[in-house]
Amino acid sequence: MPLFGTQDTATARFGGLFTRLHQDPRFADGLRDSGISLLLVHTDPDCRVYVSADGVLTGADAPEYATLTMRSSCDTAHALWVGETSFPAAVTAGQLTISGKVAKVLELMPVLAHAFEYYPGIVKAAEEGTEPSVAVTGNRRPTLAAPTPAFELNFHRLPVEIEKFRAMVRDFAQNVVLPRAIELDRAAADSFDWDLVRQGHALGLSRVAVPQQYGGLGLGMLGISVAMEELAAADPGVALIFGATMLGQTPILYSGDPHLQAQYLPRFAGDDPVLACNAVTEEDAGCDLIIPENAIHAINVMSARRIGDHYLLNGRKRFITNARFATFASVFANLEGYPGATGLTSFIVDLDQPGVTRGPVADKMGYRACLGSELTFRDVEVPVENVIGGELAGMAINMAQSNMARASVAGISTGVARGAFEKAVKWCGERVQGGQLLYRHQFTAAKLAEMASKIDAARMLYMHAAHKVDNELPAPVYEPAAAKLFADRVAIEVADLAVSLVGARGYLRDHGVEKSLRDAYGARIYEGTPEVLALAVTECLYPS
């Protein structure tokens, strides 16, 4: 399924914003199955923008105004809410028309993706020649008011493409990764299993988020998150190798810049595996680079100085997953002249160039299959075209990518919990004490029930968060933060219970249960500590 856009002006303005929606196969499949063709028409007949049943945006120019007309069997008046703006539209004779500035109309697209499931009676969309107009009323939180039947999320029946991919990843995780997990955990800190990476790359794990037009799978955050759970159930370190690569790709995807996308994204579709990394954390600056009100207090932040057609980067990044082998990094540095991190700017930096030094690998407590190390930059030249979103956009981009990534990290924590739980279930189904299997003892049954319930709850939260990320712009704050906050805690609690159930063997390194407990603490640090996540959730509770 192609990206939302082609190589034209419309793509330059809107393509990157809507990548995630059109990576969701349900959107185009729903259109195709219903014979629907959405039509966005500029009032000037010589400048038209269409969204076809294949989800392709085409047009010579990016128009200022557009009209969206849909035909439905539902005659109920209703309103579509986008952000704080209302688009009320009474359906007359089964026809819904929404007109206005094209940017606002396009904002409706993620919401309209839901509408195909809200309104199964929609059969056709047609061109409408009305004058552009838009009524703005109200001041409410984003919602969609719709008649029955209500839209129901069903995560037991995922889109076909995602379900097939999850099955392939599960087979790889259980039959290739899991048998090597203890060996990977015991290996030297700087040991790296390229064979596993090559096999994962062959499945598409390094290009899950890359649009199909660049050779990727284009499965969106939901596809990424379920894959992360499957890998993490075997070894979260392997999951993070690919997860960190996707995070390094995120600013490029988010930018909508066709030049950067064409330059960097096709690399992940080749025969040989390519890794990327996301370089944010520093010795003296971690949370200060993601909490806007803390930016002024950040100290010793990596600097960027503009000199003609390039920037000079100087500084050091720490605890960067994949830094040892990544070909490029998304790097966040502060423009000179701005205090703290108030001038934070995002750059795409090729790491195999003069001035970049890869430091020693950290000897970690868990996640040992993936390598974390330092990156030092000394007068590293970065061309101006490698700036993401323009100068000073780094804080906004960092926050946005964190909101997106937290759903997938919640998937990793859910996988860690599931891996520990499966070991405990196996043991309790084999071990006999007091004349009966362990799981028949009431206290053991209570622990297993608690573990199972928490894992299922964590999975529902991260899937819901991933679904929201794929269908809302900007990416939501609350759902991914809440999902990660909960799943991170569940991983620790379930792994702890697994050690207690397996007993002495759970404390031995040979059985891998104590490894789950060590691994469980990793996600509490990256992509938002519990304290940072609590602040994010609380701010959503008090939006004023």
- Lookup: tokens for 133: 């107009």
**Cα radius of gyration rounded to whole Å, the chain:** 24
Helix (H) or strand (E) holding 421: helix 394-428
Round to the nearest angstrom and report the end-to-end CA distance of the chain: 40
Sheet hosting strand 49-51, strand order edge to edge:
57-58, 49-51, 39-41, 65-71, 95-101
Q: Which residues are catalytic?
A: 527
Residue 432, Cβ density class (10 Å: 0-12 exposed, 13-18 middle, ≥19 buried): exposed
Q: Which of 62, 66, 78, 81 shows the shortest CA–CA distance to 125?
A: 66
CA angle 16, 21, 22 (to 5 degrees): 85
Q: At what angle do helices 442-471 and 109-118 cross, to 10 degrees?
A: 120
> Whole-angstrom Cα distance, residue 282 to residue 333?
10
335 DSSP 8-state letter:
E
Q: Which residues contact 5 (CB under 8 A, 6 or more apart)?
A: 11, 14, 15, 18, 56, 57, 256
Q: Tokens 């108030």 identify what position?
A: 342
